[in-house]
Structure 1
Amino acid sequence: MGALPQIKATTRPDARTVHLSPAQRRRLLDQAANAAPDTARSLNLGPHEKLVPKDVIQDADGTVHTRYERTYAGLPVIGGDLVVHQRHGAHTVTYATKAKLTLPTTTAKVPAATAKKSALSKATAKGTRRAGSHSAPRQVVWMMSGRPKLAWETVVTGVQQDGSPSERHVVTDAASGTTLENSEHVESAQGNSLYSGQVTIGSTLQDDGTYALIDPAHGGHRTLDSSVNSNGVLFTADNDVWGDGTVANPQTAAVDAAYGAQTTWDFYNDRFGRNGIADDGRGSSSRVHYESQQGVPLANANWQDGCFCMSYGDGADGQHPVTSLDIAAHEMTHGVTSSTAGLGDFGESPGLNEAISDMMAAAVEFYADNPNDVPDYTMAELDNLHGDGKPIRYMDRPSKAGISSVGYAPLDYWTPQAKSQEPHMVAGVGDHFFYLLAEGSGQKTINGVNYDSPTYDKLPVAGIGRSGAADVVYRALTVYMTSTTDYAGARTATLQAAADLYGSQSSAYEAVANAWAAVNVGNRFVNHIAVEPPPTEPVAVGQPVSRQFSASSTRPGPLTYSAEELPKGLSINHTTGLITGTPKKAGDYKTVIAIRDAAGDTRKLAFTWTSLESGGHFFVNPSTYLIPFESKAESPLIVQGKPGHAPSDLKVAVDLDHQFSNFMIIDLIGPDGTVIPVKPWGPGWEPLPELHETYTVDASAITKVGTWKLRVTDGTPGIYSSWDPGHLQRWSLTF
C-alpha cells in the first residue's frame, strides 16, 4: 500500500482560539455562573438540576464554549457534564449523556459506613496497598452509564504495585450496594540533562544567595527531590548550573523534569494560547526520584490531580530516571485533559485519555526539535522503562510493542472489547489514528526512523501534517469532548473540530474521517462520499423489507441513489436510499448500489444479496433487530398458506447475540395476540455471548395464517448496563 501525498491544511482565521488573560477568563466564568439558571432553563433541565461553570474558551469569531458540571438536588453528577457553544445569540450543546436526569429519591438505602467498608475492600482487591486512608463517602449521582443512580463515592489512598501513589475512586450504588466504579485517578505513565543535553531552565535567586528550581516564567513551577520524602524537597544549590548529565548526580533528573515542564508549557502557550495546564497561569510541580511514604520506589511516572504535580521514578532498576521529554509532556497532558474534557474512568474513555497524552507528547517532541532527543512517534524510547532498551509504545503500529505485563498487546484497530481492556492497550487505537492523520499510511522515513503504518480497510490515508493533527485533537479535547467520550465520540469531536478549523468540505475534514476509518472507527470518504455500513443481511420471500442505505458527502447538495439487480420484488427510493418491497423469488443477487452527489461524484457498493426461501412449512425473518438495554425487540413474520391451527410441536429457531444472551427472555406472539413463552431468564450468571437454539412450543390453539411476532426482552441486571445492546439476528418457524 503506497503512501499518499500529504494534504495541505490551512486553518480558517475565525476558528482560532483567542488567548484569554486570567482576568478575562474569570470574567467569562463569572458571567456563565450568573447566567447558569437561565442556561439550565433554556436546556430544559429539571427543577433539581443546576449548572456549575468549569472552563471557558473563546474563538476569534466570538463563539464562546462554556463547559459545565451538573448537580442534582445539590449532589455532584458524575458523567453529567456538558458544553454550551454560544454564537451570535444561538447555541448548540455537547452532552456527556442525553439521558433524562431524575431520581425517585435522594435517600440512600445503603449507609455511608457500609459503602466505606466496601470501598476499602474493593480498592485493596484492585491493587491499592495500605489502603487505610480515605475520604468520607460523599453522595453523588452516577450518570457514566447513561442511567442516573444515587451513589456513594469514596476516595481511597495508598500505594500502587509499582510504587506510584494511589488515589482510587470507588463508587457504590446507594440502593443495592453494588460497585459502579473502581478506578485509579493517578495517571501512570542552564542544566545538564540526562536525555536532552545542555538546556536552559528557569530558576530563582533566593534571599540567602542560593538558587532554587522555581521557574518564574512558567507559573512558578517547582522541581522537588522526593528521595528525601514523598512530598519532595525543593532543589536548591549555591550556583545556577544544575546537574552534570549523569545518573549519579540527583540534579540531572531534576533538569530533565524542569526542561520537560517548561517545554510542554511553551508548546501549549505558543500553539494554542493556553496559559498553563489549567489555563489559569498556575505552575505545577515535578517530583523526581519519587518514593512513596511507605518507602516504595516508583519505577514509572504519573500525573496526580490532587497535588497538581508529576511524579517521576528511576526506572525498574533504579538507574534510569523516567524523565524524558515525551514522558513529561504525556503526564502534563493528563492535567490538561483533567482541566478540560475530564475524560472519565468508564468504558473507552481511560484509553482515549492515555492516547491523547501520547499524541500531545509526540507533538511536543517535534515542537522542541531537540537533537539529543530526536522527535519521533514512539514513547519513552530513551528511558529504558522496561529494561530492554525499547520504546513502550509505537504510534505507527502499536502492536509492535508486543505483549505487555497485563497480557495484551496494544490495539492497532478498534474492537468492541476496547471498552473493557487495559487503558494503555486501548490507547493504541488513538495513537494509530494520530500517526495516520499526521503522516499518512505506507512506508516513509522521518528523522531517520522507518515507519510503515497499515490500515484496517487496506486503503491508503493521506496525512495533514503533525501541526494540523495536533490542532484538530486539541480543539476536539477542549471544546467538544466530555467525561464519557469514547472512540466513536472522539471521531465526532475531531470531525467537528476539523469543520471549525478547515471547513466541512475540505480535504482535511475527509482526512480526519479516513484516519478514523483506518483504525476501524466510522466510515471512510471515497470520491467525497461516505456510506454507513449497508444492511445486507439476507431477505426472505414473502417477508416485507425496509432497509435504509445512508450516505453523506462533503460536497453541497442532495444525494441520489440507484440500484442494479435487487432481489426481485424490491425497489429503491432514489431520493432517500430506502429499499422496500416484498421479495418474490429466492436466490443470490449481484446487487450494486450507486450513490451520486450533486457535484457528479459517484460511489458504488457491490455485494451479493441473498433472498431465502420462506413458505410451505418453513418461514423465516432474517432481518436484524436491536435489543435495547432493559427493553424489548419484536420481529414480525408473515405466515401464508392453508388455514388451520398451528401444531403442538411448533419449532421456533432463534439466533441472537448479546454479552449475556442467557438473560434474554423470549416469547412468541400469535396472530391473535396469544403469548407463548419460549425461553425464560437464565440459566446461570456466566456470560453466554451468543444464542443459537431451536425450541418446541405448543401452538395448537392458534390459527396458523397471519402475522406472528418474536419478542425478545432484555433481562440484563442493571450492574451490567455498560455492556453493548444485543441483536436478534434471525428467527424462523417450522410447522
Structure 2
Amino acid sequence: MNSSSNRAASPQGSHRPRRRLAATVVITAAALAFSALPASAGAAPTSDASGGTRKVGALPQIKATARPGAGSAHLSPTQRRRLLDQATNAAPDTAHSLNLGPHEKLIPKDVIQDADGTVHTRYERTYAGLPVIGGDLVVHQRHDARTVTYASKAKLALPTTKAKVSADDAKKSALSKAAAKGTRRGDAHTAPRQVVWMMNDKPQLAWETVVTGVQQDGSPSERHVVTDAAGGATLENSEHVESAQGNSLYSGQVTIGSTRQDDGTYALIDPQHGGHRTLDSSVNSNGVLLTDDDDVWGDGTAANPQTAAVDAAYGAQTTWDFYHDSFGRNGIADDGRGSSSRVHYESVKGVPLANANWQDGCFCMSYGDGADGQHPVTSLDIAAHEMTHGVTSATAGLGNNGESPGLNEAISDMMAAAVEFYADNPNDVPDYTMAELDDLHGDGKPIRYMDLPSKAGISSVGYAPLDYWTPEAKWDEAHMVAGVGDHFFYLLAEGSGQKTINGVDYDSPTYDGLPVAGIGLADAADVVYRALTVYMTSTTDYAGARTATLQAATDLYGADSDAYEAVANAWAAVNVGIRFVNHIAVEPPPTEPVAVGQPVSRQITASSSRPGALTYSAKSLPRGLSIDHSTGLITGTPDKAGDYSSVIVITDAAGDTRNLSFTWTAVESGGHFFVNPTTYVIPKWGVVESPLVYQGKPGNAPSDLKVTVDLDHQFSNAMVIDLIAPDGTVIHVKPWGPWVITPELHETYTVDASAVTTVGTWKLRVTDGTPGIFSLDPGHLQRWSLTF
C-alpha cells in the first residue's frame, strides 16, 4: 500500500496558499527537534498586504492584476511529449526558417504552452553533428507571429571540424586544469567529446572533458573543462555540482511519503512525487534506500540517521508541491520524474560533507552532516535552493560564464524564499534569509540576507555578497554575484525601506536612493519563473534577466501595468537598467562635453509605460543646439564655449512629465586644436569611427600632426588605431600590442600627414583586435583630438 505526503494548509494572506494534494494513507513522522528561533520569529504576522508592518521609507505594495489568459497552461506529461515530438518533426523546417546554416540542426529540449495557445519551444543546437555549447535558443510562436530568444546571435560557421589537438591531449590538460582548481582524485571516466564552443559569440571547435572527483570541501566534483581544439587553450573550467552552505534545520512534525514493500516494511519512496527516493549515503556514496518497520521515521535528534532523511524527504516533497501548485510544473524536469536525496553524504569514508549540493548527473541532492558530522544540512530552504538548480538546468540552462552562474545561484535563493512562505512551517518562520536557523559561521546568523546581501559579511571562502551590480560582476565568485539578484527579488516582492514581516525586521536600501514598491512574493515568483523558463538562455546575464523579467511582466500583467514598472524599478534599485518616474523611463542623457564648431548628434532615449507618444523640449542647451520635439534627437553645431545649465523635459500623452537637469559644457575647438569629446562604443571585435571637422587654414597637414586618444577597454593595448584624412587616406596611428593587459589608453601620437589636405572631415578609426578566446565587454573611445 502506498502512503503519500499530506500537510496543513498555509494561512491566507498575500503569499499564495498552496493547494492540498489528495492522499490515500496518512503516515506520521516523528517530530524533529529544532534550535531556538530568533527572538522576533515567534511574533504573529501583521495583516497588511505584505504580511508585515511597514515603517519609515516604505511605499504601499502594488497589487498586480493578471491579464486575462496570461501565464502558462498546465500540460500533462502526454501533452508535453506530444508538443516535443511535433517540434522534433518540424525541427528541419524551423532551422531553415531561422536561416540557420546547412550544418546546423535543432534539438527540442523543453516546451511551454500559454493559456492563450502561445508555444515556447527551447532548442539545443548542433553543428555538423557536434553539440553547440552556448548556441541554445527559444522560439516563441504566438499565433501567426514568431519571435526568437538567442543565447548567441553570432553566425555559426567553422573552417573545419578536424581537431589539431588530440582527445588524449585534451584529457591530460583537463585533468591538470581540474586539479589546479581544487578537484581531488580527479578522473575522466568518459572520453572527451568534441563540441562547438559559442559562449563568447565566436564559434570555436573544442573538446569538453568531464572530470569527476572531490571538491576541497568534500562535495562531489563534476568539473567540465573545455579545451580549444585548435591551440589547446582552456576555454572553460567550471564546476557543475551546485552547492550551498548550511547546517541542520528541524521542521517539526511533518508527514512524508513512503511505500509499503512486499515484506511489510516501508521504504522512503514517495509515490505522489514521482517516486522520489531518500537514500542513506553513510554506507556508500551512491546511497542505500532507507527502510523502516513501523513507518514512523526519526526521533527528532541528529543522532538518529532517519531524522535527516525526514528533513530531506519533506524538503523534496514541499518543493515539488510548490512548483506544481504555483506554476503547474510536474517535477524538476517537468516530466513527472522524481529525484533522489542522499543524506549523511561523506566526501570520503569517515569525512563528513559540510554542505549540500545538486548534481544533474545523478538527478539528486546530496546532504552532508556538517563540518562536525553532527548537524545534517537538510534545511527546507537549502533543499528548495538545490532542487531549483535542477529546474534551471532543465530550462534556461544558465551557464558557467560571466554573470550567469551568479544569476543561477540567485534564482535558487529566490525560489527557496518562495518555498518557505509557501510551506509556512511554524518551526521555520518564512523569511528572506537562507539557513537562518543554523550556525554555520559560529555567530548564529544566516548565510544570506536578501534585503541587504552585504550584511552577511565576508564568508569562510572569502567573498561578501554584492548589494548592487558592478561591471566586475562578470568576473566575481558566483555566490557573491548572487547578491544582486537576491536584492532585486526582495525589493520586487516587498519593496524598499523599513518593515517587519513575520516578526523579522528588514531595511532595504536602493542604489539610487529612490523608493521601490513591491508586488508581493507570489507575483514576484511568478515573474521570475516565467522569465527563467520562457525567456532566459544559457548566456543570460543580469541585463538579460532584466529584459526577460520585463517581458514576463508584460505577458502576465501588461506593459502598461504598475507591476511592469515595479520590475523595472527593482532592477534600477540594484543598478541594473533605468527606472520609471512619473511613468517615464529615460536613459542617462549623454552629457559629455561638446566642441565649438563640431557637429553634434545626441539622442535622448525614453519610454513610457502608458499609451501614446512622448514629446520633448529643452531649455538652455549649448548655443547652436536644438531638440526635435517628437524624437528627442539633439542636433546642431555649438558656436560658443561655456557651461550651460540644461534641462530636458519629457512629456507623455497623459501629461506626466520628467525633467532632466545637468550642466553641459561646450569647449573651444579651433585654431591649431580640434577635438571631438563625444564617447563612442567600441563593439566587441568590431570597428568604430569618430568624425572631427577641421575648419582652419587650407593647405596640407603637418609632418608632426599630434593625435591624442583617450579610450578604455579591458585590453586597450589590443586596439588598432588609424586616422582617416578628408580625402580618404589612411594614416596608421597605433598598431596592435604590445600584449600587456592595460584597461585604459591615454596617449598622444605623432604622425606624418604632410601628404594630405587639412580642410574637411577627419575620422579616427578604432578596431578591436582582442584575441577571440577572450569574452569581453565593449570598450569606449572617450575623446580624441588633433593638434596641427
TM-score (structure 2 length as normaliser) = 0.91
User: Is 2:706–2:748's contact at 8 Å kept on the other side of the alignment?
Assistant: yes
Q: Which moved more, 1:77-86 or 1:630-639?
A: 630-639
- 1:42 lines up with 2:97 in the alignment: yes
Secondary structure at the aligned position of 1:580 is classed as: strand
Secondary structure at the aligned position of 2:100 is classed as: coil
Q: Residue 712 of structure 1 aligns with which residue?
A: 766
- 1:119 lines up with 2:174 in the alignment: yes
Matching residue within 287, 300, 304 for 1:249: 304
- 1:355 lines up with 2:432 in the alignment: no
User: Is 1:573–1:579's contact at 8 Å kept on the other side of the alignment?
Assistant: yes
Q: Distance in 1 between matches of 2:342 and 2:567?
A: 37
Matching residue within 664, 671, 687 for 1:616: 671
Call closer, same or farther: CA 1:510–1:80 in 2, change over 3 Å: same
In the TM superposition, 1:320-719 aligns within 5 A as: 320-685=375-740, 687-719=741-773
| 1:174 alignment partner AA | A
Q: Distance in 2 between matches of 1:679 and 1:692?
A: 12
Q: Which moved more, 1:290-299 or 1:452-461?
A: 290-299
User: Is 1:115–1:137's contact at 8 Å kept on the other side of the alignment?
Assistant: yes
Q: Deviations along 1:12-58, whole A, 9 cap, x unmatched?
A: 23113211111111111111111111111221211111111111111
Q: Distance in 2 between matches of 1:307 and 1:530?
A: 46
Shift of 1:296: 4.1
Q: Where in structure 1 are there 5+ consecutive unaligned residues?
A: none
| 2:781 alignment partner AA | L
| 1:725 alignment partner AA | P
In the TM superposition, 1:42-441 aligns within 5 A as: 42-189=97-244, 195-292=250-347, 296-441=351-496
TM-score (structure 1 length as normaliser) = 0.97
User: Is 2:249–2:380's contact at 8 Å kept on the other side of the alignment?
Assistant: no
Shift of 1:406: 4.0
User: Is 1:406–1:422's contact at 8 Å kept on the other side of the alignment?
Assistant: no
Q: Distance in 2 between matches of 1:334 and 1:13?
A: 31
Q: Which moved more, 1:349-358 or 1:688-697?
A: 688-697
User: Is 1:300–1:385's contact at 8 Å kept on the other side of the alignment?
Assistant: no
| 1:129 alignment partner AA | R
Q: Which moved more, 1:372-381 or 1:673-682?
A: 673-682
| 2:218 alignment partner AA | G
Q: Distance in 1 between matches of 2:377 and 2:441?
A: 11
Q: Identify the structure with bigger relative contact order (alpha carbons < 8 Å, sequence gap 6+).
A: 2
Shift of 1:484: 0.8
Q: Deviations along 1:235-267, whole A, 9 cap, x unmatched?
A: 111211111111111111111111000100110
Q: Distance in 2 between matches of 1:714 and 1:81?
A: 26
Q: Deviations along 1:496-518, whole A, 9 cap, x unmatched?
A: 11111111110001000000000
Q: Residue 38 of structure 2 aligns with which residue?
A: none
Q: Residue 787 of structure 2 aligns with which residue?
A: 734
Q: Distance in 2 between matches of 1:709 and 1:550?
A: 26
Q: Deviations along 1:276-317, whole A, 9 cap, x unmatched?
A: 111111110101110135654211110000000000111222
Secondary structure at the aligned position of 2:347 is classed as: coil
| 1:26 alignment partner AA | R
User: Is 1:315–1:386's contact at 8 Å kept on the other side of the alignment?
Assistant: no
| 2:756 alignment partner AA | I
Q: Residue 44 of structure 2 aligns with which residue?
A: none
User: Is 1:40–1:51's contact at 8 Å kept on the other side of the alignment?
Assistant: yes
Shift of 1:699: 2.9
Q: Deviations along 1:568-594, whole A, 9 cap, x unmatched?
A: 111111111111111111111111111
Shift of 1:389: 2.1
| 2:392 alignment partner AA | T
| 1:464 alignment partner AA | I
| 2:439 alignment partner AA | N
Q: Distance in 1 between matches of 2:737 and 2:141?
A: 50
Q: Which moved more, 1:694-703 or 1:423-432?
A: 694-703
Shift of 1:677: 2.8
Q: Distance in 1 between matches of 2:343 and 2:315?
A: 12
Q: Distance in 2 between matches of 1:717 and 1:553?
A: 41
Q: Deviations along 1:520-577, whole A, 9 cap, x unmatched?
A: 1111011111111211111100111111111111111111111111111111111111
Shift of 1:669: 2.5
CA RMSD of aligned residues (A): 1.4
Q: Where in structure 2 are there 5+ consecutive unaligned residues?
A: 1-55
Secondary structure at the aligned position of 1:14 is classed as: coil
Secondary structure at the aligned position of 1:198 is classed as: coil
Shift of 1:698: 3.1
Secondary structure at the aligned position of 2:319 is classed as: helix
Q: Distance in 2 between matches of 1:325 and 1:568?
A: 64
| 1:118 alignment partner AA | S
Secondary structure at the aligned position of 1:292 is classed as: strand
Q: Which moved more, 1:344-353 or 1:709-718?
A: 709-718
Q: Distance in 1 between matches of 2:730 and 2:687?
A: 14
User: Is 2:312–2:378's contact at 8 Å kept on the other side of the alignment?
Assistant: yes
User: Is 2:171–2:188's contact at 8 Å kept on the other side of the alignment?
Assistant: no
Q: Distance in 2 between matches of 1:305 and 1:294?
A: 23
| 1:668 alignment partner AA | L
Shift of 1:390: 1.6
Q: Residue 778 of structure 2 aligns with which residue?
A: 725
Q: Distance in 2 between matches of 1:370 and 1:467?
A: 17
Q: What's the % identity of the aligned pairs?
A: 86
Q: Distance in 1 between matches of 2:290 and 2:309?
A: 8
How many residue pairs were aligned?
Answer: 730
Q: Distance in 2 between matches of 1:254 and 1:386?
A: 24
Q: Deviations along 1:376-430, whole A, 9 cap, x unmatched?
A: 0001112323333221111000001111234331110111111111100000000
| 2:490 alignment partner AA | Y
User: Is 1:229–1:293's contact at 8 Å kept on the other side of the alignment?
Assistant: no
Q: Distance in 1 between matches of 2:283 and 2:300?
A: 21
| 1:698 alignment partner AA | D
Q: Deviations along 1:441-485, whole A, 9 cap, x unmatched?
A: 000011111100000110000000000100000111111111111
Q: Distance in 1 between matches of 2:707 and 2:71?
A: 60
Secondary structure at the aligned position of 1:468 is classed as: helix
